[in-house]
Each structure stands twice: as C-alpha cells, then as structure tokens.
Amino acid sequence: MGIPHLTRHLTPYAETVSLGQNSENTELCYLNSVVVDGPSLVYHVYHRLLACMDPACEIWDVQPTCNEVSRGVVSFLSQLASVGVKVERICFDGALPVSKRITRLSRLEKSRSKLELCRRRPVTASTRQYRKELSIEPMRLWQGRSLPSRWKNMPENPFMVSAVLEDLLHRWTRKLALEEFPRDATLLPDTEYPWADITVIVPGEADVECARIARATGSAILTSDSDLLLYDLGSGGSVVFLNSMQMIDNAENSARRELHAQRIHPCGLSHRLGIRNIQLFAYELKRHPQIQFNELLRRSKAENDTKDHSVEYYDFLREYQHEPDHHSATNEQISVRHLDPRVSELFWQFESPGAYCVMDQPHVYLGILNEDHSRRCAWEQGRIYRSLGYSIHNIGRPMLQRFSIVHEFVRRGGRIVAEPVTLAGEKTVVSDLVSLQERLDVARDLFDCESMPRFWFLFALAEIYRDPSNATTVPNAKQLECFLGNGFMGKGTEWAEIHLVAQVQAVLYSLRMLKQLLHKNADSDEFGQYRCLLVDLPPLYILMRSRHGIAQDFSEKESRRRAVHQMVRHYG
C-alpha cells in the first residue's frame, strides 16, 4: 500500500536488469525467476488496457471487463515465459489484518469520491454505439500512456481481482493460452493448467508470502507496491516495479525479444547508501515526509549508531516482519485456495478472529460499483443471498465461534458505512434455501434458456423486478427489450441503465458468494442437499458482461421478446 514518496526517493538508485535469457547485453544483470504480486499485476494490466481505449468511448464502456483484464494478465504471464522467466508464485490477499482497516476504508472512500465526480458528467452519446471486445495486443501491456482527464474519476472494476484469480486456477489451460496467444505461450510449462499450481491466496497479505518466496529463492518481486522494499528479502531478493518493465523487439530476430526493467535490491542499496537497512530510511520518511533526501539519509545514518530504537520504530517494523505461520495446521485440513478473496477473508475472520476481525464482528468490504451515485446503493440487491451465505457459514461453526452479525462496508449516499447484517438461525436458513430453490425452478420454467449466462442474467433481473422498492425505477417492457437487444433504453446511454446493470452485477456476485459458502459447508447434515443449488452459475468473466456481451446474448428478437413478456408479466 506504500509509504508516500519512497519510490520517488529510491528510484534513482535502481539498476537496469534483463529478465529472462534473451538479452545479448552482457553488461546487464540477469533475473530468471520472479514472484508476482497478484493484485498489483491485475491493476497494472487494467490501467494499461484502459489507456488503450478509444477516446471516443463512453464512460460506461471504457472500463476494461473482467474477461479483458484476465486475457491481459495471461498475455503478460505468457510473455514472461516466452523470454525464459520462471514464475515461482502468484500471490493474492486472502485476508488483510485489522491494522489495514483505515487504509481499506480510505481506498473505498477514494473510489466512492471518484464515482461521485463521475456522476456529475453527462454520459449520453450522440450515437447509439458501444465498443466491441478489446483486442489484447501483447505490446500494449508494455506501453504506458496518460489517461484522458474524463476517465481519471472512474472507479476501478471491483470484480477483476476475483475474476483473474478464478481464471488462473480454473479457466486458463495451456491449450487455451496457445489459442489466444500463439506467439508467446509456446514455452509455458507442459501441464494442463500452467498457473494453477503456482497461484495462491494466502491468509493475510500477499506481500508477506511474496517476500518469503523472494527471500528463499533470490527472486525479484513484480509489484506496484513500495511496501515490498521494507520486508526482509534476504541477500538476493529484490523488487521490480511493473511500470518500469519494457519489452524490446529484436529487429534482426523477432524470437529474441528482450525484457528490461528497473530493479531495486534493498540489501545492496542499503550498503551503497551506508545505512543498516532500508527500513530506517522509510521510517524517517514516514515521520518527516517533507524533508529532502540528503537529510533523510543523514538521519538514517544517525540511527545506525543508536542501540535502542524507539517504541514507534519497532511498531513501524512489525508490519513488515515475517510472522510465523500460525495457520499451518489449519491449512493442512482445510483448502480455501478456490475461494473468492472476499469469501476467503470472511472465512479467516471466523478461523482467527483475533488477527482479522474489526469491532469484534466479521466484516466484508464490498467494492464500489459503476452505478448511479445519486441512487440507493446497488449492493442492496442481492443482500438476502449474502446474508444467507454468511448465516450458513456461521451455523457451520462450533457454538462458541459463532457471531450474531456481519458488517458490510458499503456506500450509503455520500459515505462509506458499516451496515450490520443480522445472521439467521438454522430454521430460517433452511426456509430461505427452499424459497430460493422454488424461485429458481419458476424462473427456469418461465425463461426456458439453454444458455446459462442468459438465464442467470434474467434471474438476477427478475430479482430486481420483484423487489417492491424498485417499482418506480425498473424499465417498462419497451425499454427493457430495447436495452437487452441494443444496450440502450433510449437514444443513448443514461444513468438508469448503468444503475440497472450494477444491480444485476450485485445480485450475481451475491449468488456467487452464497454458492461458495454453501459448498464450503456442504458436509453438514443441514445443508448438504443444497450443495448443487447454484452449481451452474458461470464464472465471473462470463457473469460480468459488457453491454456488447449482453446484447449478443439477447440478439435473437423473438426469444428476447418472450423473455421480456415473461419478466414484466410475472415479476413487474
């Protein structure tokens, strides 16, 4: 999450390195193995793709989809393999500690503020057009561009980290990667899922696991987070910032592209600066962010001679120390590596409440959706399913390890608040599961869909229509048919349809959380029979479609008209 200005002060001391085995420059240091900070890579790829969008795109269309970001990440990883770089591990956060709560809330507030500013801009285009799926050109991922000012206030895709994690584990086979990126994927490991075994979601922060692997293997950590400089990376571990990486084509031999980057080697740099470690410099910078480099260095050197550092310094260091793996016994018995990061975080709060709980109750941070900021938060939709999932997990715990509520951090108007969700007992949970089963059966009969993405979109839409609080805001039959077929309700994009899609996404993601929590607790006698209730819910890269994808699903006019008729007649 980074100490402000640390990167700016230390970047002048970075060294140019070559990653892989293709460089012909014998003067460069070679790096052949890396550890990847998963969330950093996802956000890096997202912003590179965002910068490639046509400036004429509408604000709603410009956000890269989960599928586009996932393809971009796999293109990046395939290109690493193509130049001979071994990826030791790709690490994702499984549960952030309580100490990160303020940072988490400030990030949510920053995204909320962006959304509010975004809402002030008109969205209606002069023509009813939307962009097609973005072509992932490999070299785009190495080219940094400035964003148009009107895009800078757009919150990031809240589902992309979860989608990429899921895809690396379950979607991206070697065969599929070769079909998408034939030039770069030929040197991938000869296994069915090249990244599944090296992709991990860890209890705690990904930083800690990245640092541990780097220290053990002497690898470089690919990240955008300067905090990684402050962990003990050993004598060989180092940090490469993603935005410093450049792929250089070889004019004489296209197969011998070179990958260069700027590396900071904390052990070597501290020796070069004449200080005991980089942590001393970072501590002084955090205390005195306004003073110049030379003065920071002088103070750091003075600290070298201090035998007893202050309590504040040791508190500062504690955040960057490798903690003993107190989850090792649990990890041997329970696998959580296939869980969504938000579900994983909830799991670890029940497992180790002292380390991960806020306010002595579990909490879930729900990302800022691309929605109408002036209306009720779209996360209100689907709350019944999230509550059902939380309650199922709660009932599955021993009596003394149960809670009465879960706090959801969501947008309420112009603030981020902790909304309490009361957890239900077994009788209510079973009744709600039966009710869900009945609603699914009715929807399957009504919509008669062979396409699962189409069915689940319609089911989520039906949940919005059947909610009395939406009675005055849902589109009428004509508007809905126009939206499903064309991506627009009227002459151009309006906030009403943007908000409707956000509501659909909230329902679908809530069902996904319920599906995982049902599966996690399916061994219990109470809920085992419902294990397959949501088994055909598609992965996120399919669920979170662009409006172009939605229009493709409903391109057949007669079936679209029937679906709209059933929707309005039965739920409207």
Q: Report helix, strand or coil for 375.
A: coil
Cβ atoms 477, 565 nearer than 8 A:
yes
Cβ atoms 236, 30 nearer than 8 A:
no
Lowest mean pLDDT among 325-329, 481-485, 529-533: 325-329
User: What is the reported pLDDT for 332?
Assistant: 37
pLDDT tens digits, 446-463: 998 889 999 999 999 999
Confidence check: pLDDT of 12 > 70: yes
pLDDT tens digits, 490-544: 877 888 999 999 999 999 999 999 999 999 887 777 788 888 899 999 999 999 9
How sure is the predictor about 321, in pLDDT bands with cuts at 50, 70 and 90? confident
Residue 359 forms part of a structural domain: yes
Look at the alpha carbons of 170, 173, 176, 181 in this order and tell me if their dihedral is positive or negative: positive
The fraction of the chain above a pLDDT of 90, given in percent, is: 68
157 and 18 in a common domain: yes
Residue 467 forms part of a structural domain: yes
The fraction of the chain above a pLDDT of 70, given in percent, is: 93
30 and 131 in a common domain: yes
Across-strand partners of 361?
358
Which letter does DSSP use for residue 358 in this model? B
Q: Rounded to whole angstroms, how far apart are CA atoms 373 and 499?
A: 9
User: What is the reported pLDDT for 124?
Assistant: 53
Confidence check: pLDDT of 325 > 60: no
Q: What CATH number has the domain bearing residue 183?
A: 3.40.50.1010
Which is nearest to 10 in space by CA: 229, 321, 318?
A: 229
Residue 394 forms part of a structural domain: yes
pLDDT tens digits, 360-410: 899 999 999 999 999 999 999 999 999 999 999 999 999 999 999 999 999
Cβ atoms 93, 206 nearer than 8 A:
yes
Q: Which structural domain, as residue segments, surrounds residue 137?
A: 13-273
Which is nearest to 409 in space by CA: 342, 364, 369?
A: 364
| Average pLDDT taken over every residue of the chain | 90
Of 273, 301, 323, at which residue does a domain stop? Answer: 273
> DSSP string of 126-158?
SS-----PPP--GGGGG---PPPGGGTTPPPPT
Confidence check: pLDDT of 326 > 50: no
Mean pLDDT of 217-245: 96
Of 236, 257, 273, at which residue does a domain stop? Answer: 273
Residue 322 forms part of a structural domain: no
Of 257, 273, 289, at which residue does a domain stop? Answer: 273
User: What is the reported pLDDT for 223?
Assistant: 98
What is the chain's length? 572
Task: Return the residue matching tokens 């260095």.
Answer: 297
User: What is the reported pLDDT for 98?
Assistant: 86
User: What is the reported pLDDT for 329?
Assistant: 39
Count structural domains, the chain: 2
Which letter does DSSP use for residue 490 in this model? S
154 and 241 in a common domain: yes
Residue 95 forms part of a structural domain: yes
pLDDT tens digits, 160-203: 999 999 999 999 999 999 999 998 988 899 999 999 999 999 98
SS3 readout for 220-253: EEEECCHHHHHCCCCCCCEEEEHHHCEEECCCCC
Residue 31 forms part of a structural domain: yes
- Region for residue 363 given its phi and psi (left: phi exceeds 0; alpha: psi -120 to 50; beta: otherwise): beta
Task: Return the residue matching tokens 């800690």.
Answer: 208
Q: What share of the chain is helix, strand, coil (3-state, %, to 5)?
A: 50, 10, 35
pLDDT tens digits, 101-155: 898 999 999 999 999 988 887 765 555 567 888 889 888 899 888 887 778 788 8
How sure is the predictor about 254, in pLDDT bands with cuts at 50, 70 and 90? low
How sure is the predictor about 304, in pLDDT bands with cuts at 50, 70 and 90? low
User: What is the reported pLDDT for 133?
Assistant: 86
Q: Rounded to whole angstroms, how far apart are CA atoms 508 and 544?
A: 8
